[in-house]
Amino acid sequence: MRVRSLAAFVLFAASHAVVAAEEHSAMPVGDAAAGATKAAVCGACHGLDGNSTDPQYPKLAGQHADYTARHLALFKEGKRDNAIMAGFALPLSEQDMLDLGAHFATLTVQTGVADESMVATGQQLYRGGDAKRGIPACMGCHGPTGHGNPLVPYPSLAGQHATYTADMLRRFRDGAVYGDAEGNNLAMSAIAATLTDAEIEALASYLEGLHGG
């Protein structure tokens, strides 16, 4: 029953992805140069080059523009809970968010080093999933190099701090859903619910050392 339910969630997310991709071409675009100026305030936490040094703050360098803009909107609307980010996002206009997203997308993420003791487990889950438990391969959505899909958008995960990624996976496992029941997030909550703490740590470590393409 659980495997069938998980499959249904993934199918729902996939159908949502098709619609999102079809609508992508009609979306407004940001100005990366304008975003670079607006991003000055972001540097204290996320790094001047988008590569944060504190692992509790995500690296934004190389993240898809639409994904960054979308999550800034969720912070502003109170649909993603973070008091610090809500304060920064509140005064932003839609164009500001698009510009910031465009800016960070032009930057290069600095990959870390995976824990060798966890690589095998993390790689297996990311590339092959676990058919017996109905866990799909992460790369099915996030790509073989962890660079995601900008048309959906599925976020780029390659090089992200393991601490941050593990925290996000635990949040999904605990039922966190950002936005108004968006298919991608519902699927992530369903998938993360099947993962053990050790598997979450292994996936997060593997991704930190993965080079995006």
User: What CATH architecture applies to the domain 31-105?
Assistant: Orthogonal Bundle (1.10)
Residue 175, pLDDT score: 86
Which residue is associated with the tokens 């962890």?
146
Domains 2-22+111-208 and 31-105 share a fold: yes
**Helix, strand or coil for residue 45?**
helix
Give residue limits of the domains in the chain: 2-22+111-208, 31-105
Contact 168, 80 (CB under 8 A): no
Residue 202, pLDDT score: 99
Residue 26, pLDDT score: 58
Question: Which residue ranges of the chain lie beneath pLDDT 50?
Answer: 1, 5, 9, 12, 18
Residue 50, pLDDT score: 99
For the domain bounded by 2-22+111-208, which CATH number is listed? 1.10.760.10
Residue 10, pLDDT score: 54
**pTM score, two decimals?**
0.87
Rounded Cα–Cα distance for residues 158 and 46 (Å): 16
